[in-house]
Structure 1
């Protein structure tokens, strides 16, 4: 019995390698001539276009290990065309016309020989260690494994129904709902690419009145969901609707009944008219099962353009009848009618098109490894400058939360250097710009971030107050001192976090309250400063930036010199870590420091101490257990003598808060005995200046502390009262109260004195 082969290319005389244009193909020919399992039959050439030609080596591949009666239909002698053209990967075509359609074949045009999919990796990776000899062994492997039915493992994901089509259409996430909405047409918008044909088409549902008003391109559409298909090889795309129906029938499903039902549902009692130059997009939502007795494992959507309108398809399929009045109606008669042009539907030419669905927040969460149950909340982002806008962009692309952006600033020309805004946004409100850019990541309506152009501290803004009260999380990215302090004392405010870059841009900080807000943000701030004072990384943590740029004539029209690289670097880390830490209940403090020379970003996890809040007259004193323990430890170290030193902290005059940050031990020239203590001064000026330098002049001297000997309480003596009076007079010169702390046997007493010097 003769074998029918596909003619592929134009034959060339003999086997002379000189007839081969490409040296790569000549090397492959040499390998074939040396290989015992490959017999070279002839050489051919294939004109690709005016400028390029492919070399084709026709061989018989003989492999005696292939079972002669395998169920797949692979023979132990197969005629192949080894195809090569410069700029393309090596390709192998099976020339036998009845070569079986199997798994792992490439898409081909109608009438072409089957193309074997030999490699799982892209050619750019394969060519790194590709040799002609290995290529021939890969061909033998493919044929053998395919014949044995082991090329596609049982635990491997199911193959898709068809090879990759040449075009894709992008549809809205809710396209099924849109197809059921009256008065909307499916419009097509090819995305133009210079120098090439459009590869992607946007498909969107638009009100029919707008489509007609602006003469937008549109088409009809049908949606069907056939019975589940049985898993099988990837198939070549059908050329006609009848071929498509037969392919589905072979795999346990039929489509013509579903198409007729969809046509009948599409047409109302008013009937429809025929439309010229209109195609119909057939959307086929298919589920695939591994075997007939198993449940479906995957769902996929196929699409085909049928080059006919709804009325024409309906008449040809028998779903509609001609009303003889220019309209066509649903045929409700039983059985076949005379008006049905029987089997005409099978001849409709169809064109495959891939279906892509516009991204949804749910898809983004899955792609970003974000748990949905941790991502569905309302947040308020205060401050959408350089850092805030980057955080907003990251979280929107991850589908983490829906946000209200709050800021009263505008986009100025210099902002575009470090902001997600573009030149066209100059002059617009920053919050509106960030809202539009983040909402625009998705199809309209998928997320609804809100913009409020106001200061976060604006108590008169009713909408802002409502958003703050209803939010689950507030993130402060204003890089100010006042905002996190004010937010943390608002009883109605939810859990709050604060993030900022250090002045140089080489460091970043994250502070987040616990769920119960037992350690408020203002208390975390003071504990953060203590870490800055005592840690090695704190020496240059708040060191100034690389310089300043004047961006206007005003005294505040100044911008720091920090690269956008640093904003992105720290912004990505802050975005990720805040997202992860927000899922935990406890308070957290994190600091990152960049070694610019090596690119190393080092993280420091700062301990959080239980906060102590005491009211002393009009002043609220905020400190913590770690500082209390330090006082006791310094007292114990000096026993039986008394000891003491200075207290470091800061005042917030608006909130009437005194934050105790740290306490220094006694200077080396201090006088200490069992009955008294006189603080010295040696090294104190340097320590004080270092404190100011490390904390950017936030933390300062606020008072004195001393201890009492064994068996003595922390109650103030007459000498202590004289001391607090003296300190009060001294501190009053700066308009501040004085603080004195006495450390006793089992207790610590805080004394605050204020002198009236006016």
Structure 2
């Protein structure tokens, strides 16, 4: 095509009539202009350039009297359409002196400026694309550029170059705002190429894969601050990179010469290495503002260190020896030293991992007990969210059946679960704090385990073992708060038990609160029933595994990770149960918890919830002047010589109550005890009896009480357990007797609701 007009770039191509355009979007654009709905844009010409079709238009932007950028009242723009319609249309400003402004694509010298109209990918824009919208956006782009408003104050600064498909993952320190950075030698390894996009990973030589030598050494250079603006053509040689950094600043080349000279004099110098040049570009929004960000780019030398030094005039090769040149030949400025631009990617840090998860990073010190299906996935979720420093305790091996619902892959079968998990997660981000100890927590603790307990802020039990949970609550000396996460036998429900920050309500006591909730809340009656038959995976009698879908384990692990975060952030004790429903919803039950009173009676520790004490007192008060009573149910822990009172059965309807005596009936008691046992997985059993004394009488046992206790003791001894009796009196006092009534009891007075 002939020169369109003086001052405009020419376009060579075949002129075509508007009606002869073949690309649908080009046709649509011409039709939109012919409809006269866009009076500030008019068609100048149409032409075909190879497979592209161009529509040349004159656009009238709204230019202020004193424009920030020299945009004219009429700008001639060529709009190019690709027949494949796989990318944004080409938008070329044909005026030869169109200014260098933000949001321009790079164009070689002597070619039109290429306007960047959209920040989103064409694939995302395409479903709603219209020619009218494109034209309005073009006019808006020119108007806002003239006013200096196109680049919003809160918008990220323009990058220096187009990011190439080759990516280089760099340590996060490279991206730090500090002016001076010392970076140890890097090992750069090729990872993969996917659809033409290559990824390299740079890591310190000390942490490089065993047996692999460094391919590059690195040089970090922080350039002078620059105002952001036009995306430029990538430098392809050392000399071009120097020219880009600043025509008047020879600091880069001289710094590079000095770095190469230092390398040569250092022990172990390898002249065959290549150089990874990491350039840090401090960026300004305007010339009068402070540095806003540091942009990082990387350039890989095609040649070796020896070739670079020679091309920079500091060395010369003589009989295969590398000799220093004195003086330096400054005529050699790296014109022959070719570079490949790499797009740097910041290695993940704890803070970044947390930010990507919408969180603040946490360094809470955890000891995790149990690396099974739930534990492996819960900790994986938390580590990937930048949460916690972890010591993992587990003695189990990872076996084939575990892979059905575990974080670990089958390739790690045979390894210890805890060590395998740490191996998998330790490189999630830089400086993860993860350690594993192969230990059975019920065995005497090693010094290593004791140190972990003492340093912990939270001990997270995911062992699904009552014995382990009580051991952690009662036998371990540690300032750490205890939490427990476990699934019910059918895997439908997730349970969280979280101690108070001050441990005023311990894990073992929360276990009893959990049992009482199962007894009293109708929606939890079937909670501990087992669904499905266990599957045997080996020969030993205990080598069985439950049936549980992995998607359900993953669901509860996701909830569990969030529950741990929420619990650690709150000081109070809590019990919460999440129940997965058949319709794919999840119902959450928050369980109200009660403080416990503990007393030592005849070498046994009796733990009683305040709620139960209040209810006994209220029942006594309601039946006055008569005596009343009922059945105590709870848990015996013979290892710790503890009796936990979980709940009570009110006086049966066939009981005999009078001001001078109480004879408990039996109506419905056996059935209720059977229900209690079934609801709690046979954990909560008959413990003993309670009755009241009328006002004016103490809670000391009468002769009838002593005779009853003797009967209870004879029956209890057949099972090796002590008899338990409670006597409730006036002023909300209750006396407790265990094993030997003659030895006396302990009295609890005036329980305040808490």
Normalising by structure 1, we get a TM-score of: 0.88
Q: Deviations over 1:239-295 (max 9, x none)?
A: 4444444444389996445444444444427897865xx653211122223334433
Decide which moves more: 698-707 or 535-544.
535-544
Shift of 1:592: 1.5
Shift of 1:6: 6.0
In the other structure, the counterpart of 2:522 is 536
Instruction: Give the one of 570, 588, 604 matched to 2:574.
Output: 588
Q: Deviations over 1:204-244 (max 9, x none)?
A: 44479999x86x68234321012332343444434444444
1:489 aligns with 2:488: no
Instruction: Give the one of 426, 430, 440 matched to 2:427.
Output: 440
In the other structure, the counterpart of 1:392 is 379
In the other structure, the counterpart of 1:192 is 193
3-state SS in 1 of match to 2:711: helix
Rounded to whole Å, the distance in 2 between the matches of 1:198 and 1:56 is 30
Q: How many pairs are equivalent?
A: 728
Alpha-carbon distance change, 112 to 638 in structure 1, aligned in 2, over 3 angstroms: farther
Q: Deviations over 1:179-216 (max 9, x none)?
A: 9678x5643415133xx3343222344479999x86x6
In the other structure, the counterpart of 1:361 is 350
Shift of 1:317: 4.3
| Contact persistence 2:692–2:727 (CA under 8 A) | yes
Q: Deviations over 1:81-132 (max 9, x none)?
A: 2323425133232152544332223466787644332223333432332222
Rounded to whole Å, the distance in 1 between the matches of 2:463 and 2:297 is 48
Alpha-carbon distance change, 186 to 100 in structure 1, aligned in 2, over 3 angstroms: farther
3-state SS in 2 of match to 1:440: coil
Rounded to whole Å, the distance in 2 between the matches of 1:329 and 1:226 is 29
State the superposition RMSD in angstroms.
3.3
Give structure 1 stretches of 5+ with no counterpart: 48-52
Rounded to whole Å, the distance in 2 between the matches of 1:151 and 1:302 is 25
In the other structure, the counterpart of 2:363 is 376
Shift of 1:636: 1.6
3-state SS in 2 of match to 1:740: strand
Give structure 2 stretches of 5+ with no counterpart: 742-754
Q: What does residue range 411-430 of structure 1 map to in structure 2 within 5 Å?
A: 411-430=398-417
Alpha-carbon distance change, 44 to 682 in structure 1, aligned in 2, over 3 angstroms: farther
Rounded to whole Å, the distance in 2 between the matches of 1:454 and 1:501 is 22
In the other structure, the counterpart of 1:554 is 540
Alpha-carbon distance change, 32 to 246 in structure 1, aligned in 2, over 3 angstroms: farther
Shift of 1:452: 1.8
Q: What does residue range 216-255 of structure 1 map to in structure 2 within 5 Å?
A: 218-249=215-246, 255=252
Q: Deviations over 1:505-525 (max 9, x none)?
A: 221111122233232211111
| Contact persistence 2:175–2:295 (CA under 8 A) | no
Alpha-carbon distance change, 699 to 358 in structure 1, aligned in 2, over 3 angstroms: same
In the other structure, the counterpart of 1:155 is 154
In the other structure, the counterpart of 1:15 is 17
Rounded to whole Å, the distance in 2 between the matches of 1:573 and 1:635 is 43
1:63 aligns with 2:60: yes
Instruction: Give the one of 588, 592, 598 matched to 1:607.
Output: 592
| Contact persistence 2:316–2:324 (CA under 8 A) | no
Alpha-carbon distance change, 573 to 404 in structure 1, aligned in 2, over 3 angstroms: same
| Contact persistence 1:479–1:500 (CA under 8 A) | yes
In the other structure, the counterpart of 2:119 is 120
Shift of 1:419: 0.5
Instruction: Give the one of 627, 649, 661 matched to 1:642.
Output: 627
In the other structure, the counterpart of 2:439 is 454
In the other structure, the counterpart of 1:86 is 84
Rounded to whole Å, the distance in 2 between the matches of 1:219 and 1:675 is 95
In the other structure, the counterpart of 2:747 is none
Shift of 1:551: 2.3
Alpha-carbon distance change, 620 to 107 in structure 1, aligned in 2, over 3 angstroms: farther
Rounded to whole Å, the distance in 2 between the matches of 1:719 and 1:189 is 87
In the other structure, the counterpart of 1:142 is 141
In the other structure, the counterpart of 2:291 is 296
Rounded to whole Å, the distance in 1 between the matches of 2:323 and 2:148 is 50
Shift of 1:314: 4.0
Decide which moves more: 84-93 or 609-618.
84-93
3-state SS in 1 of match to 2:298: strand
| Contact persistence 1:475–1:496 (CA under 8 A) | yes
Rounded to whole Å, the distance in 2 between the matches of 1:236 and 1:221 is 23
In the other structure, the counterpart of 1:690 is 675
| Contact persistence 1:225–1:286 (CA under 8 A) | yes
Rounded to whole Å, the distance in 2 between the matches of 1:454 and 1:481 is 17
In the other structure, the counterpart of 1:50 is none
| Contact persistence 2:186–2:214 (CA under 8 A) | no
| Contact persistence 2:392–2:435 (CA under 8 A) | yes
| Contact persistence 1:590–1:606 (CA under 8 A) | yes
Rounded to whole Å, the distance in 2 between the matches of 1:371 and 1:414 is 36
